[in-house]
Amino acid sequence: MDLEIAGNVAIITASSRGLGKASARALANEGVKVVINGRDEQKLSATAEEIRETTGSKVLSIAGDIKERETLEDLVDGTLDRFGKLDHLVTSAGGPASGNTLDTSEEDWYEGFDLLVMSVFRLVKKAVPSIRKGDGGTIVNITSRSVKEALDSLVLSNSIRLSVIGLEKTLSRELAPEIRVNSILPGPHQTSRIDGLIDQAIERGEIEGRQQGIEEWSKSVPMGKLGDPEKLGSLVAFLSSPRASFINGAAIPVDGGSSRSNL
Ligand SMILES: NC(=O)c1ccc[n+]([C@@H]2O[C@H](COP(=O)([O-])OP(=O)(O)OC[C@H]3O[C@@H](n4cnc5c(N)ncnc54)[C@H](OP(=O)(O)O)[C@@H]3O)[C@@H](O)[C@H]2O)c1
């Protein structure tokens, strides 16, 4: 299926690894010029090279911490300088600290808010005037299934990410019909985020090793396995395309059925 987005330009935040990288690759596979981001410049350059080689698409990498306003501004300014236009935003992020409520500090909460919410608000505010000039702009926020049901030891994710859904729903009404805005709610996927959460559970003495961690996460999924980031990337590309032109303001779980919530 031709998604009819070849030649478009997309910014994907937090995309040197994991779900952001898979989204960038899926868009690049469709001929979209992609702008990728992460804090570690070396890893980011290696990812840019890999996506260029495997997809033949143009890739610009802009390193920086998305908790900082300047990074979001650099992303939009750098994209317009290099490619002259902007059509799509995909907002991914690192994960906020894990832990129970009483283990978290005030700083953890403010940092989590900057990482997950202010990064989206700042990017949208800077980018929307440029996206409006095009035809068929989209924003896809990668959040978590924790917005549907509280997950153990993830109070920051459970609490702060709901703001992204409030922002997304509001924007989907304010920016339509020029720009569609949707969210994806991933369940456990095979990325370094899950490895990190497993390592933290080992440190807390909740499990004994990585293998046990992967088995425990897989058991929580009716499909009996962790998700494949590439398949989530395909959904990002679809939602960014005119094939999804009537999907706006949606929050779509990609979790193998692991959420118990009816809606
Ligand atoms: N994987 C899952 O199972 C899962 C499930 C539900 C929700 N999620 C959420 O989905 C998002 C992506 O997860 P993932 O699995 O792709 O994570 P990941 O594999 O750990 O990758 C995170 C990416 O974000 C970049 N990053 C982290 N903090 C950043 C910052 N402050 N500024 C700029 N870039 C930053 C990392 O590069 P640098 O370290 O070089 O900056 C890396 O490229 C996270 O919010 C995660 O919590 C993931």
Residues 208-254: tens digit of each pLDDT: 999 999 999 999 899 999 999 999 999 999 999 999 999 999 999 99
251, β-bridge pairs: 183
% of the chain exceeding 90 in pLDDT: 92
Instruction: Taking residues 57-64, report their average pLDDT.
Output: 98
How far apart CA 87 and CA 136 sit, in angstroms, is 7
The structure tokens 């236009």 sit at 85
Mean residue pLDDT across the chain: 96
CB count within 10 Å of CB 149 equals 11
Question: Which residue ranges make up each domain of the chain?
Answer: 9-187+228-252, 188-226
- Domain 9-187+228-252 carries which CATH code? 3.40.50.720
Query: Please, are residues 90 and 29 in contact by the beta-carbon 8 Å criterion?
Result: no
Q: How high is the pLDDT of residue 256?
A: 97
In this predicted structure, the answer to whether residue 204 has a pLDDT above a threshold of 90 is no
Does any ligand 1 atom lie closer than 6 A to the CB of residue 123? no
Element (H, E) at 9: strand 9-12
Instruction: Taking residues 153-165, report their average pLDDT.
Output: 97
% of the chain exceeding 70 in pLDDT: 100
| 211 residue type, one letter | Q
Q: Which residues contact 16 (CB under 8 A, 6 or more apart)?
A: 36, 37, 38, 40, 43, 44, 46, 47
Instruction: Taking residues 158-175, report their average pLDDT.
Output: 98
Q: How high is the pLDDT of residue 193?
A: 86
Does any ligand 1 atom lie closer than 6 A to the CB of residue 146? no
Torsional sign, CA 182, 188, 192, 198: positive
Buried-state track 208-229, b at ≥16 Cβ within 10 A, e below 16:
eeeeebbeebbeebeeeebbeb
Q: Tell me the H-state helices in 56-181.
A: 69-83, 106-113, 119-132, 155-174
Does any ligand 1 atom lie closer than 6 A to the CB of residue 88? no
Does any ligand 1 atom lie closer than 6 A to the CB of residue 259? no
Query: Please, are residues 253 and 187 in contact by the beta-carbon 8 Å criterion?
Result: yes
How far apart CA 20 and CA 15 sit, in angstroms, is 4
Residues 101-120: tens digit of each pLDDT: 999 999 999 999 999 999 99
How far apart CA 77 and CA 142 sit, in angstroms, is 22
Q: How high is the pLDDT of residue 197?
A: 85
Ligand 1 atom closest to the Cα of residue 96 is 47
The structure tokens 């143009």 sit at 58
How far apart CA 45 and CA 54 sit, in angstroms, is 14
Confidence band for 187, pLDDT divided at 50, 70 and 90: very high
Output DSSP code: residue 147.
G
Tokens (6 digits) for 83: 């490619």
The larger pLDDT score, comparing residue 35 to residue 95, is at 35
Tokens (6 digits) for 93: 């992020």
Q: How high is the pLDDT of residue 200?
A: 87
Does any ligand 1 atom lie closer than 6 A to the CB of residue 161? no
How far apart CA 177 and CA 119 sit, in angstroms, is 23
Ligand 1 atom closest to the Cα of residue 217 is 3
